[in-house]
Structure 1
Amino acid sequence: MHFDKSPKEKPCCTLPTVKKLLEEKRKRETSSLPPSCSAASTSPAPSNAVTQLASTEQYTCTGASSSYSDMALSYESWPADAGYNFFSQPGPTYSTGYSPLMVPEYNALQQLPGFGDAMSQGYQDCQMTVGDPGMPSPWSLLQSPQLSFQPQMDSKKLAEARMLIAAMEQSSLTVQDEDGDTLLHIYTAKGFREHAYAAAEKLSQFRTLDVKEHKGKTPLLVAVAARQAEIAEDLLSLGADVNACDDKGQTALHLASHYGFPDVLQVILSYRPAFNLEARNFEGMTPLHCAAISHSVTVKASAAAGLADEGLQKMAENKLVCVDRLVKEGASLQSQEIKSNKTVLHLAVKEGNLDLVRYLLSISLPNMKDFVNMKAHGHTALHMAAGLHGNPHQEEILRLLLSKGADASVRNLENDQPAHLLQSGPQGEQLKLMLKKRNVSSRRRIMSLQDQE
């Protein structure tokens, strides 16, 4: 919906759109953050990082991407142009703000203490601190899943907000700007918890709590993308749909998993069994797939930046925490991404993500051997590890897979065993010898078992 403003009707103040607010927030983030899943379409990634992201063997998954690494950089499901992408370069500026023309009650917002200053200063009172040194390590987070992130609301601010909202007509609360944002979307993106709560209370009575903006995001999805864990919990407690998805099929779980927000993810997971842990976005991925892909992107960006970038290291840790929480909640490790049939193990091995491979293989599974030998369009994880030419973790990943029962004799659709996909040269010959020894050892063990029977 568009609202035309004539010179005579120009409002005394213009509320910024959610898109503008989140763009301003991106500009305040550290410049060392890695490109997100949509960064390739909005800003160029560092050349050295892009070079490392391209692996020797490509497995096509979309028409616009040649590999999962590339897709994670250009993934259109994370809309940078909508302003929810905090990890890309700042996008273009937008001059059109939220027009209060049709909502005269908005003028009353200026009467609230500090509201005008806060609106002009952006997110200074609700910053998203990626890599906050005060945050606990991911392993301490894993040991204490019940996070304390819901302090009490300011009763005075809440009372003022309720008075303001009570004076508004329904049309004033539900009216949408040119980007489809309602007042609740803006309150949520700004982190104004008391005002968001008061607005959500009223909208829940009208059954319009899940109204969507132009990219299909409900206020809950905006809260997730803006890392407003407290507001997200408030919205859910008031009846927001935890499984609502945007126009890319992304639910709150997809977004929290992709961005690596353990606190927000914990809020959503606390609403069991309402959420759909195996929900697929329109790329055919579950939240666990998204978490795995995003973790690999950050790990590679961190490796390219070096040990000095603590922000990237903390982000990678948080994303691994998200993977762990999804798994402990019951996310299926054997779930395959629809387009390429890859499991999270395939995704981790394909990108040479040693940390994630170690984690996945450390999980106690009754059918670990079957899991390790699952195929994705004919390729096992061992085939993909054999294709990691030049990757410093190739040998260790191969050994880890073999130690968990990976079968070196399995052939892919081209009739190749993993040993056939190794690089040429001394290193390749050494790895080939390791695979052949394991293959011979496996055959002897099978023959021994058959003799015993």
Structure 2
Amino acid sequence: MHFDKSPKEKPCSTLPTVKKLLEQKRRRETSSVPPSCSTASTPSAPPTTTATLSLAESFTCSGASSSYSDMAVSSWQMPQESTHSYYPSHPGPSFAAAYSLPMTTEYATQQQLQGFIDTMPYEGPMSVADPSMASSWSVLGPGQAEQLSFGSAIDIARLEEARMLLNGMDYSRATGQDEDGDTILHIYTAKGLRECAYAAAERLRDIGRLDAKEHKGKTALLVAVTANQPEIVQDLLSFGSDINAYDVKGQTALHLAAHYGLPGVLQAILSSRPSVNLEARNYDGMTPLHCAAISHNATMKAFPSIGLADVGLQTMADEKLSCVQMLLQSGASLLSQEIKSNKTVLHLAVKEGNIDLVTYLLRIPLPNIKDFINLKAHGHTALHMAAGLHGNPHQEEILQLLLQRGADPSIRNLENDQPAHLLQIGPEGDKLKLMLKKRSASSRRRIVSLQDQE
């Protein structure tokens, strides 16, 4: 819809839209962006709403002074300490340190062990694995202050200013949508203006339009996720935003947070359990866990093969691995297979030679670990995929890890090939083939021994 214009106002097309705001930030990004989680094999450009502008940045608009941008920013100067940095870096304490497992130590605390055993085989609603992550937030009224779990209390004085700003605004502008479907809440959320977004959310909630969607199907909540705004995500959820809303690609808030590796946002979403659907499928048949695995794969592939380690990439990889762990600890099913190719997260990790993710997944204490490892994706087990990692420096290590956890080298794919038949030709392939044959022979001896005992 179009807003009514006063004679002095310029057309709404001159006002900044969510799409424009996020594109401006994306052009400023110098680091690589992972491929979309909508496909496991073909990289594609990220969604339009994938990055946002910092709170401290100045926004100008060619529109009238009553435009969204001018009205939001001219009222006050946002404090420097509230500035957020966006993907790929994240402010505040390291979530990766809290959630990712050291690759050099055994995966084991009693709480983690029990949580995985209880929740991994199932795909229904899950109980909270970590009670400390669960919290509830009440809606703030005038004069109230509340300390949020992300370490920042909303500024009541600024919130009152924002409410007055909204009250003095033309009704159609404060509650309507422009030609791109953006509400004023979408705009404030994309800019990271928390108090303005809070006041706008109050207004839209009261008229039942809190989950209005822009032209790409994103609600304000989905914009807050892609903007890496955990506090605004938390605020919107406290107002009752639909946590399972999805965009034109079927991506929910969990899909987007997992894809971009945003642990703070992911925690805010997961804290709203059990209403969040951990097994929601996007239109490519993937769950948020698949998206998190694909995103981690992309970051690991970006590491240089030689030379000094990239600290920024390592931080990004750690945070994305922490997202995988957070989803699993919250009850996401390790056994879920993507619809198009039937791959599990293990298939996805092995196929890309992602040794860190493979190592992590194989440490999870599943009671049916052999069944999980030998699941087929269009006829191929994870061992078949590892055998096809010709030239990958981690091929032998991945094969050994799979064999140690119960991978069966005698299983054949749809072409009647065993993993050994897919190995490379040459000395390296011969060495790996011998390893597979020894394990296959050892497995046959164990089976015969067990039969004799019976």
Q: Name the TM tier (shorter chain).
A: 0.7 to 0.9
Q: Partner of 2:400: helix, strand, or coil?
A: helix
1:431/1:173 CA distance change after superposition, 3 Å: same
Q: Are the structure 2 counterparts of residues 414 and 13 from structure 1 closer, same or farther at C-alpha, using a change threshold of 3 Å?
A: closer
Partner residue of 1:166?
167
Cα deviation, residue 16, structure 1: 1.9
- Residue matched to 2:121: none
SS at 1:302's partner residue?
A: coil
Structure 2: tracts of 5 or more residues without a match: 53-59, 102-129, 134-147
In structure 2, the partner of 1:372 is: 373
- TM-superposed CA distance for 1:305, in Å, is 8.2
Contact 2:257-2:265 at 8 Å conserved across structures = yes
Q: Using the alignment, how far apart are the partners of 1:107 and 1:85 within structure 2?
A: 21
Residue correspondence of structure 1 range 48-447 to structure 2 within 5 A: 68-69=40-41, 71=42, 73-74=43-44, 78-79=46-47, 82-84=48-50, 109=72, 112-114=75-77, 125-128=83-86, 130-131=88-89, 135-136=93-94, 138-142=96-100, 146=133, 148-168=149-169, 170-303=171-304, 307-447=308-448
DSSP 3-state at the match of 1:437: helix
- Measure the CA separation in 1 of the matches of 2:419 and 2:234: 47
> Is 1:36 aligned with 2:6?
no
Output one character per residue of 1:399-431: Cα deviation in whole Å (capped at 9) or x when no partner. 000000000000000000000000000000000
Offset of residue 100 of structure 1 = 6.3
Name the SS for the 2:185 alignment partner. Answer: helix
Aligned partners of 1:133 and 1:3: how far apart in 2? 36
With over 3 angstroms needed to count, the CA separation of the structure-2 counterparts of 1:139 and 1:446, relative to structure 1, is: farther
Task: Please state how far the C-alpha of 1:125 moved relative to its aligned partner.
Answer: 3.2
Q: CA deviation at 1:20?
A: 2.0
**Deviation digits for residues 8-50 of structure 1, max 9, x if unmatched?**
6438996422122222222443x2x2233259xxxxxxxxxxx
Structure 1 residues 137, 267: CA separation in 2 closer, same or farther (over 3 Å shift)? closer
Higher relative contact order (CA 8 A, sep 6+): 2
1:22–1:306 CA distance, 2 compared to 1 (3 A)? farther
What CA distance in whole angstroms lies between the structure 2 residues aligned with 1:277 and 1:178? 33
Match of 1:451 in 2: 452
Q: In the aligned structure 2, how far is the partner of 1:227 from the partner of 1:333?
A: 26
| TM-align CA RMSD | 3.1
Aligned to 1:49: none
User: Kindly tell me: are residues 306 and 330 of structure 1, through their superposed partners in 2, closer, same or farther at Cα, counting changes over 3 Å?
Assistant: farther
The residue type equivalent to 1:358 in the other structure is T
Q: Show CA shifts across 1:247-275 (max 9, x none).
A: 00000000000000000000000001111
Counterpart CA distance in 2 for 1:371 and 1:350 is 16
Q: TM-score, normalised by structure 2?
A: 0.81
CA 1:400–1:126 in structure 2 vs 1: closer, same or farther (change >3 Å)? same
Instruction: Find the aligned partners of 1:98 and 1:326 in 2 and give their Cα distance.
Output: 43
CA distance in 2, matches of 1:154, 1:261: 24
Deviates more, 1:140-149 or 1:310-319: 140-149
TM-fit CA distance, 1:99? 5.7
Percent identity between matched residues is 64
Quote the offset at 1:113 in angstroms. 2.1
Q: TM-score, normalised by structure 1?
A: 0.82
Structure 1: gaps of 5 or more residues:
40-61, 87-95
- Letter aligned with residue 441 of structure 2: V
List, as ranges, runs of 4+ consecutive aligned residues in structure 1 with deviation greater than 6 Å.
3-8, 103-107
Q: Which has the higher helix share?
A: 1
Would the alpha carbon gap of residues 249 and 233 (structure 1) be closer, same or farther in structure 2, given more than 3 Å must change?
A: same
Give, in angstroms, the shift of residue 84 of structure 1: 1.8
Q: How many residues are treated as equivalent by the alignment? A: 404
Distance 2:32 2:301 in 1: 9
Moved more, 333-342 or 134-143: 134-143
